[in-house]
Copies of this chain bind each other. A is one copy, B any other.
Amino acid sequence: MIRILVQTEPFDLGAEAERLEIGSETGAVVTFTGRVRDVADGLQYMELEHYPGMTEKALSAIAEDAMSRWPLAGLTIIHRHGRLAPGDRIMMVATASRHREAAFDAARFLMDYLKSRAPFWKKEVSKDGSDWVDSSDADEAALKRWTSV
């Protein structure tokens, strides 16, 4: 069961986790929540741009890949776009499985792929100007964990 949402509105982490807690075969649910952090010179807001159409396709492909790699009962990806304030939630993933190993691995896999393969771009706006957030070499390197297998 894959659930993918791309939206400007906030989401309810507790309710999303509960959606995955169905039946009595799911022993483990892992969630990750990403939030807007402040920057050195005081963030006014973050503007999250995305590529409508491709975003949904990319998230679905990443989700299907996770479902094929681990025995998951379900997974959820919610990613916001638009204007976000410091401390706002940006996105979440949640994974459900019989055991903790699969749930943890799959959540981490989803995050590693979302960071570098989902078409979102972050712009940080502070009183001194604005900057597009650079992609990180560490994030690109993190993907290698999953391809060397």
How many copies of the chain does the oligomer comprise?
2
Say yes or no: is A15 at the interface (Cβ < 8 Å to chain B).
Answer: yes
Contact (Cβ within 8 A) A37 B24: yes
Report which A residues bind B (CB closer than 8 A): 12-15, 17-18, 21, 23-38, 43, 86-87, 89, 98, 100, 103-104, 107-108, 111
Additional A-B contact list (10), CB under 8 Å, known A29-B32, A30-B30: A14-B15, A17-B31, A17-B33, A24-B35, A28-B33, A28-B35, A30-B33, A32-B103, A100-B111, A104-B111
Which residues from chain B contact A31 at a C-beta distance below 8 Å?
A: 13, 17, 29-31, 33
Question: Which residue of chain B is the closest to A32 with respect to CB atoms?
Answer: B30
State whether B30 touches A100 (Cβ < 8 A). no
Q: Which residues of B contact A89 (CB under 8 A)?
A: 21
User: What residues on B are CB-neighbors of A111 within 8 Å?
Assistant: 100, 104
- Cβ of B29 and Cβ of A87 under 8 Å apart? no
Complex alpha-carbon distance, A30 and B13, angstroms: 11
